Amino acid sequence: MNDLAGKHIVLGLTGGIACYKAAELCRALIKSGATVQVVMTQAAEQFITPVTMQALSNRPVYDSQWDAREANNMPHINLSREADAILIAPCSADFMAKLLHGRADDLLSLMCLARPIAEVPLLVAPAMNREMWAHPATQRNLAQLAADGTVVLGVGNGDQACGETGDGRMLEPDELLLDVIAFFAPKPLQGQQVLVTAGPTFEAIDPVRGITNLSSGKMGFAIARAAQEAGAHVTLVAGPVQLPTPRGVTRLDVTSALDMHQAVSAQLDRAQVFIATAAVADWRVATVAEQKIKKDSAGQMPPLQFTENPDILAMAAKSPRALSGALFCVGFAAESHDLLQHARAKRERKGVPLIVGNIGPATFGKDDNALLLVDEHGTHELPHASKLTLARQLVADIARRRQAVH
């Protein structure tokens, strides 16, 4: 996906072993549609060569404010004016201190100081030893940089080149790419709390058997990511699926419908939007056997008795906050046939303003989908596309509906 199409990024490299990650980051930015201009400090060139970064970016690398290639000899002005953002990755502790005090003794720091602050945002990806990261001076610098408007992308935790382990690693290139994509995304849900359910539930029969369904959770996880990109604080209640947690999303893992009901109930009072994407089992076994159920001498299994699971979406829709308009509830209908008929019936039965319908067997486990939005006024189709594309369209639609109400 060309999530960064039309964006021009100045990628700044400062001294640190994490410069090796900048090569992959440069490639990832370009694959996502951006153009990349690399600017390096002299310290960065001790870890990776300008030749490497030039080959990856397909542009000459700049490393001096005296570069004669610029007709006016002002690369700090020219390069910053062309950029949609300046991303410094890795950003050393020394360079952060330099940014904080407005020092400008090399091209990269000079460019950061000379950039039009209101038009060219500055993003930094710190990279340093764990003790350097934890030092009070570094933490003061980080806080002041953020207060000055710099976007600090955080650090990773793990093994470090020095042999120690802890916070301070530069985030991985794929993580930084997601953060940059999210940074540029519109923010119609800025600051709002969004609660999403995703995946199937698993209803135990005995210690080795259970009842579940074919939901992969991919649509719900895509919605969680899209809501986070839109500026929301997202909590994702996930059934038993093996999917990576979207960047910046708080994840709560559950197994059964009762588990999911309990998790949603605990989070609902803080949410402004609830999107029930999960395929929750309608029924569970009344009594779970303590041991594996065996066939009898005639080869028959004893009959199972079922009881109805709580209706999570209906519970949310009937809550005082939903009835007052403080909580906007969205349900999903995964059907095998007669999608419109069943989606309309489910919307009325659940009492929610919006139901999103899809044909389950056509999308379970896949990366693409097609959605049918059903509300009191009629229907609107979101044509076949990737689940992330549809998730972004759906989140934008939900944001518009909330703005219309409020």
CATH number at residue 224: 3.40.50.10300
Residues 121, 338: Cα–Cα separation, whole Å: 49
219 domain residue, yes or no? yes
Residues 354, 379 share a domain: yes
Spatial separation of the C-alpha atoms in residues 101 and 99, rounded to whole Å: 6
Per the CB < 8 A criterion, the answer to whether 78 and 6 are in contact is no
Do 172 and 249 lie in one domain? The reply is no
The predicted pLDDT at position 362 comes to: 86
Query: Tokens 């067997």 label which residue?
Result: 361
**Is residue 162 flagged as an active site residue?**
yes
Same domain, 197 and 154: no
Residue tagged 């955080």 (tokens) = 154
SS3 21: helix
Domain check: are 212 and 350 in the same one?
yes
H or E segment and range at residue 363 = helix 360-363
Last residue of a domain, one of 141, 157, 184: 184
Within a domain: 3 = no
Cis amide linkage into residue 90, ω under 30° from 0: yes
How is residue 177 written in tokens?
Answer: 């790419």
370 and 228 in a single domain? The answer is: yes
pLDDT at 297: 75
Write out the two tokens for 342.
């069943």
Report how far apart, in Å, the C-alpha atoms of 215 and of each of 111, 181, 197, 338 are. 49, 27, 12, 19
Shared domain check, 198 and 179: no
Which of 132, 163, 184 is the C-terminal boundary of a domain?
184
Report the DSSP pairing between strands 209-211 and 306-308: unpaired
Q: What are residue 211's phi and psi, to 5 degrees?
A: -110, 130
Give the end of a domain, one of 153, 184, 215: 184
Number of domains within the chain: 2
Residue 279 covered by a domain: yes
**What is the CATH classification number for the domain harbouring 128?**
3.40.50.1950
Q: Give me the domain span that covers residue 214.
A: 193-405
User: Would residue 106 count as lying in a domain?
Assistant: yes
Q: DSSP state, 33?
A: T
3-state class of 371 per DSSP? strand
Cβ-contact 159, 124 below 8 angstroms: no
Has residue 57 been placed in a domain? yes
Q: Is residue 2 part of a domain?
A: no
Residue 335 three-state SS:
strand
Same domain, yes or no: 301 and 345: yes
Query: For the chain, how far is it from start to end, CA to CA, in angstroms?
Result: 33
From first to last of the 406 residues of the chain, give the pLDDT tens digit: 799 999 999 999 999 999 999 999 999 999 999 999 999 999 999 999 999 999 999 999 999 999 888 889 899 999 999 999 999 999 999 999 999 999 999 999 999 999 999 999 999 999 999 999 999 999 999 999 999 999 999 999 998 888 999 999 999 999 999 999 999 999 999 999 999 999 999 999 999 999 999 999 999 999 999 999 999 999 999 999 999 999 999 999 999 999 999 999 999 999 999 999 999 999 999 999 999 999 887 778 888 999 999 999 999 999 999 999 999 999 999 888 999 999 999 999 999 999 999 988 888 889 999 999 999 999 999 999 999 999 999 999 999 998 877 6
* Residues 24 and 172 placed together within one structural domain of the fold: yes
Residues 301 and 211 in one domain: yes
Using CA atoms, how far residue 26 sits from 29, 191, 227, 284, 307, in Å, is 5, 30, 26, 50, 55
Sheet holding 368-375, edge to edge: 250-253, 233-238, 193-198, 273-276, 328-335, 354-359, 368-375, 378-386
19, 26, 112, 162: the catalytic one is 162
Kindly list the distances between the CA atom of residue 185 and the CA atoms of 7, 77, 123, 124, in Å, as whole numbers in the listed order.
Answer: 12, 26, 15, 18
Asked, for residue 92, whether it belongs to a domain, the answer is: yes
Q: Which long-range contacts (CB under 8 A, 24 or more apart) does 162-166 make?
A: 162/129, 164/129, 164/130, 164/131, 165/130, 166/130, 166/133, 166/134
In a domain, 21, yes or no: yes
